[in-house]
Structure 1
């Protein structure tokens, strides 16, 4: 998957402040920037259970080739929710933009993807190694459970960015999948 280009960009300035739409590159470039470590940027994943109850949890996500990737233990609530319903949302505070992405997270077991993403995690301080099922490492988040940990590719369809520094405003982008 390569980087996406929005097919629709909408200015969400409904009250007439006179703000302009943001280019997608404002969000994309900040997502692609390499933080010092995997937890330097706080990402939050929201899923829904079978009864519709929401569940939100912090994740260590990384941008790779136009999508976000994250890990989860097989027995975690988020993994169980995603197995039943891959629709989810990821929210993140970037340096000058609050961003919410809506899409689907699907487990990936493709060897080349596991190897590539494991190398990216290692470069950011988490010593992940690819296996047939996902990743192993000497440690992970305390709530992750024992290895292996699954790798999920989050493919988004829409994104909303709210400027928290100049230029301010709000923009929605829609992407074809």
Structure 2
């Protein structure tokens, strides 16, 4: 904790920029980052969006785990998403279900740390009863730059939240969008 009482590694909560939606300018009601992490951890399926070299969006469901403040998923080395990420690491990850949504914008890197792979494989096995092999398909780690939380209800305008990461996992990135 810093002298301000805020965890220096926690993202900064703000209102998303959504002109015309009538979002409250008041910061009361912003969702805590713990709310987002609970949903990122609990989601069984996620949607990963990448962009082709021609600029065509590609969105597919994947299994994955939220671990140590980042999103991990495995995919075939020749899959479209792996090829897209090799060309441009920027991507978006969304939790399943639209009632309480978390959207993470970030950059994906291939996991190369053996100890971290072991922790990923343990978490993946606990969640899906399947253990990825260390020399199998690539595992991507998405480090967040910006995240959004939305609750589909009458509370939407008071709870819509954007979190900006300006440290740690997203070192050197100020975040974009919303």
Q: Distance in 2 between matches of 1:4 and 1:96?
A: 28
Partner of 1:54: 57
Partner of 2:29: 20
Alignment CA distance shift 1:56-1:11 (3 Å)? closer
Alignment CA distance shift 1:41-1:95 (3 Å)? farther
User: Counterpart of 2:118 in 1: which secondary structure?
Assistant: helix
Aligned residues: 154
Q: Distance in 2 between matches of 1:161 and 1:167?
A: 12
Determine whether 1:80 maps to 2:83: yes
Determine whether 1:150 maps to 2:138: yes
Gaps of 5+ in 2: 1-7, 171-178
Q: Distance in 2 between matches of 1:27 and 1:125?
A: 21
Q: Distance in 2 between matches of 1:159 and 1:88?
A: 12
Q: Distance in 2 between matches of 1:46 and 1:79?
A: 11
Counterparts of residues 1-177 of structure 1 (less than 5 Å): 4-10=9-15, 14-15=21-22, 20-33=29-42, 41-93=44-96, 97-131=100-134, 133=135, 148-165=136-153, 167-168=155-156, 169-176=159-166, 177=170
Gaps of 5+ in 1: 34-39, 134-147
